[in-house]
A and B are shown apart, each in its own frame.
Chain A
Amino acid sequence: MSAGRVPFSVRRTSLIAGNTFLEAVRQRLFLFLVLLAVALVLGARFFQAFHFGSDLGTASLKFTFDFGLGALVFFGSILTITATAQLFFSEIENRTALTLLAKPVWRAEFIFGKFLGAWAVVGVFCALLTGLLAGLLWFRAHELLSADPEVFQHGGPVALGDLVIVCALHWLKFGVLAMITLLVASFSNTNLFSVVTGFFVLVICHLQGFAHQAYARVEQSSVVLRLLIGTLARVFPDFRLFDFAEQAGQVGGVNATLALRAAACALIYIFVFGFLAVFSFRRREI
């Protein structure tokens, strides 16, 4: 145990998280990605020219919603992986981790502090884009309503509550992704390796649906094959669980019970990946 007999401290963890957060928001990468994402969300109206069938009120808003959410997911994923890996390795490369861990600080505090700091940065990013998207949808809905009061007779715009739930679930997904990146960083030697592996894992987690489809198709008699594909389908989290965008804007909106289940899954994964990262980091020589 890195901290001798000192008990685990939430305060020390939050101090590490606070410093990580400050370090992250000062980075140019964060500002650059925020600006790009904001520009893309605001530019959703101009991209609408490429969309087929967007002349209808609901379709137009759905396109804006999809597009804005696309910006959040795309740049959010980049920010999560690169910022988490960079924040971890900056401590290792600058040797500040050595100084820090020489003091009575648990490696678990270090890992969870880094995670919370990075996750908070991604949280700010998500909150900013969610607010912007909500404003844009509200503005567009009013614009369409003033042009035609019956524009939403076949379906209303996306509810604000649904938008918040959808974005919050993506934030939780980014939490899982950040912890996976930390797990990779805990045993890898370079920042680049962690970032590249993080992106590979992101792709795998998004395509987990295919693994589940393949698992469902394997014959019952092929025990070994079922075990192999079943394990593959279970080792990586399925990121489709956190994508409720299709439910938003539909009659009935987002199913809150299912959203809570998905949130619980995310939190379980964050803790499991977190403990594995600590386990791996404790075996590492710095």
Chain B
Amino acid sequence: MKSSLVLPRRFTTGFVVVAALAATGWAVRPLADPVREELSQGEPELRLESLSDVLGQGVTVGLLGGFRTLVADFLFLKASLDWENERLPATIASLRLATTIDPRSLFFWVNGASMMAYDMSNWRINEEGGFDQVPKARQREIDRVQAAQGLAFLEEARRFHPHSPVPYREMAMIHWIRLKAAAEDEAGVRAEILQAAELYRLGSEQPGAPYVYARLSAIFLENAGHLREAYEGLVKQYHTLPKAPEDPGYARMPRKNPPPSEDEIAAAEASTVLESIRRLEKQLGIPPEKAFQP
């Protein structure tokens, strides 16, 4: 008799509690939703699909404790250990988990992409018998697959670091070093060089990008035979470069406050850019009267 009375009472208490909490949850939506929305924009979001399979107890505790940075650092150390022992799946899993937990560290993305694009293709070739045994076509195929994996990893990095020039630089280097070497023919080589040039150009447009990116873009364009685009890119860049008073074009230089430091002027290498412009003018056959006037 007693138990039959206790059960409904507990049940009704539980029901009231759940109903009240659900009602409160709905009621605080106007207050909570803008906060949630704003915080999720600024904060790298933990993604359900990437965490659900790999989240261990220790990681959970780390996340809940707020030690996100440290847990990610230790996971990257684990990835480095796996990389040293050439354990491909484990390295990828650790890299993915480290960047999922703390996508703020560009170090993880850049080094992870390098491991995928350069080292892992060598591991796979070695696993299939070594560079002497595996046919060149197969080696190129593996290189392309691994480079694509590295590029995809860097694409993801760009989601979290949309204004950083670093992922662009790394992507350009993968095209320039790995994919150019893995290209099947001359057209393929040229396409990869043009991709590298475009990525360096995009990187040069990001805030705080080194001045050399635009110059490298022009060099790659020149390499691919696109002299006119290389010339126009350098001319465009020259106007914006910080210069010393004795440099040509100093008077037309956009004024900045504070003015550029000596180190910044040296890093811009305006004189080198001007030399490249003159060289390209000769190659393009531009007459002196139509030559660039800084």
Which listed segment binds B: A28-36, A67-75, A113-121? Answer: A67-75
User: Once the chains are docked, how many angstroms separate the CA of A77 from the CA of B34?
Assistant: 25
Docked-complex contact A72 and B25, CB < 8 angstroms: no
User: A243 at the A/B interface (Cβ < 8 Å)?
Assistant: yes
Docked-complex contact B66 and A73, CB < 8 angstroms: yes
Chain B: residues with Cβ within 8 Å of the partner, total of 48
| Chain A, Cβ-Cβ closest to B67 | A70
User: A26 at the A/B interface (Cβ < 8 Å)?
Assistant: no
Complex interface: chain A residues within 8 A of B77 (CB):
50
Chain A: residues with Cβ within 8 Å of the partner, total of 57
How far is the CB of B109 from the nearest CB of chain A, in Å? Answer: 11
Docked-complex contact A258 and B34, CB < 8 angstroms: yes
Docked-complex contact A262 and B21, CB < 8 angstroms: no
Chain B, residues 38-65, CB within 8 Å of chain A (1/0): the string is 1110110111100000000000110111
A75-94 interface (Cβ within 8 A of B):
77
How far is the CB of B188 from the nearest CB of chain A, in Å? Answer: 36
| Chain B, Cβ-Cβ closest to A250 | B42
Q: Chain A binding site: helix, strand, loop or mixed by DSSP?
A: helix
How far is the CB of A42 from the nearest CB of chain B, in Å? Answer: 15
Complex interface: chain A residues within 8 A of B67 (CB):
66-67, 70, 74
Known contacts: A241-B32, A241-B35, A261-B34. The answer to whether A234 contacts B26 by CB under 8 A is yes
User: Once the chains are docked, how many angstroms separate the CA of A246 from the CA of B66?
Assistant: 11
User: A272 at the A/B interface (Cβ < 8 Å)?
Assistant: yes
Docked-complex contact A261 and B31, CB < 8 angstroms: yes
User: Once the chains are docked, how many angstroms separate the CA of A66 from the CA of B104?
Assistant: 13
User: Once the chains are docked, how many angstroms separate the CA of A131 from the CA of B211?
Assistant: 43
Docked-complex contact A203 and B107, CB < 8 angstroms: no
How far is the CB of B167 from the nearest CB of chain A, in Å? Answer: 15
Complex interface: chain A residues within 8 A of B108 (CB):
52
User: B36 at the A/B interface (Cβ < 8 Å)?
Assistant: yes
Chain A, residues 234-269, CB within 8 Å of chain B (1/0): the string is 111110110111110010000100100110110011
Docked-complex contact B21 and A276, CB < 8 angstroms: yes
Known contacts: A53-B106, A246-B39, A246-B42. The answer to whether A70 contacts B70 by CB under 8 A is yes
User: Once the chains are docked, how many angstroms separate the CA of A275 from the CA of B13?
Assistant: 12
Known contacts: A50-B74, A276-B21. The answer to whether A241 contacts B36 by CB under 8 A is yes
How far is the CB of B103 from the nearest CB of chain A, in Å? Answer: 11
User: Once the chains are docked, how many angstroms separate the CA of A6 from the CA of B206?
Assistant: 70
Docked-complex contact A276 and B65, CB < 8 angstroms: no
User: B17 at the A/B interface (Cβ < 8 Å)?
Assistant: yes
Docked-complex contact B35 and A265, CB < 8 angstroms: yes
Please tell me which one of the listed residues A66, A183, A231, A261 contacts residue B32 in the complex, with CB atoms under 8 A apart. Answer: A261
Docked-complex contact B39 and A187, CB < 8 angstroms: no
User: Once the chains are docked, how many angstroms separate the CA of A72 from the CA of B65?
Assistant: 8
User: A210 at the A/B interface (Cβ < 8 Å)?
Assistant: yes
User: Once the chains are docked, how many angstroms separate the CA of A73 from the CA of B67?
Assistant: 9
User: A140 at the A/B interface (Cβ < 8 Å)?
Assistant: no
Docked-complex contact B68 and A66, CB < 8 angstroms: yes
Complex interface: chain A residues within 8 A of B31 (CB):
261, 264-265, 268
User: A47 at the A/B interface (Cβ < 8 Å)?
Assistant: yes
Known contacts: A63-B69, A214-B48, A279-B13. The answer to whether A240 contacts B39 by CB under 8 A is yes
Docked-complex contact A238 and B32, CB < 8 angstroms: yes
User: A226 at the A/B interface (Cβ < 8 Å)?
Assistant: no
How far is the CB of A124 from the nearest CB of chain B, in Å? Answer: 19
Docked-complex contact A265 and B32, CB < 8 angstroms: yes
Complex interface: chain B residues within 8 A of A241 (CB):
32, 35-36, 39
Docked-complex contact A265 and B65, CB < 8 angstroms: no
| Chain B, Cβ-Cβ closest to A280 | B13
Chain B, residues 259-278, CB within 8 Å of chain A (1/0): the string is 00000000000000000000
| Chain A, Cβ-Cβ closest to B37 | A258
How far is the CB of A58 from the nearest CB of chain B, in Å? Answer: 12
User: B10 at the A/B interface (Cβ < 8 Å)?
Assistant: yes
Docked-complex contact A238 and B66, CB < 8 angstroms: no
Docked-complex contact A74 and B22, CB < 8 angstroms: no
How far is the CB of B57 from the nearest CB of chain A, in Å? Answer: 10
Complex interface: chain B residues within 8 A of A47 (CB):
70
User: B220 at the A/B interface (Cβ < 8 Å)?
Assistant: no
User: Once the chains are docked, how many angstroms separate the CA of A247 from the CA of B28?
Assistant: 22
User: Once the chains are docked, how many angstroms separate the CA of A245 from the CA of B48?
Assistant: 21
Docked-complex contact B42 and A247, CB < 8 angstroms: yes
Please tell me which one of the listed residues A53, A206, A231, A279 contacts residue B22 in the complex, with CB atoms under 8 A apart. Answer: A231
Besides the known contacts A52-B105, A62-B69, 10 further A-B residue pairs in the complex with CB atoms under 8 A apart: A50-B77, A74-B66, A203-B60, A234-B29, A235-B21, A236-B21, A244-B39, A261-B32, A261-B34, A265-B35
Some 23 contacts from A to B, beta carbons below 8 A apart, are: A47-B70, A52-B107, A66-B70, A69-B66, A70-B65, A70-B68, A71-B65, A73-B64, A74-B67, A154-B208, A187-B13, A214-B48, A240-B40, A241-B35, A244-B39, A246-B43, A247-B42, A258-B34, A258-B38, A273-B21, A275-B20, A276-B20, A280-B17
* B contacts, CB < 8 Å to A: 9-10, 13, 16-18, 20-22, 24-29, 31-32, 34-36, 38-40, 42-43, 45-48, 60-61, 63-70, 73-74, 76-77, 105-108, 208
Q: What are the 10 closest A-B residue pairs judged by CB atoms, nearest first? A: A234-B25, A74-B65, A70-B66, A73-B66, A70-B67, A246-B43, A52-B107, A235-B21, A66-B69, A272-B24
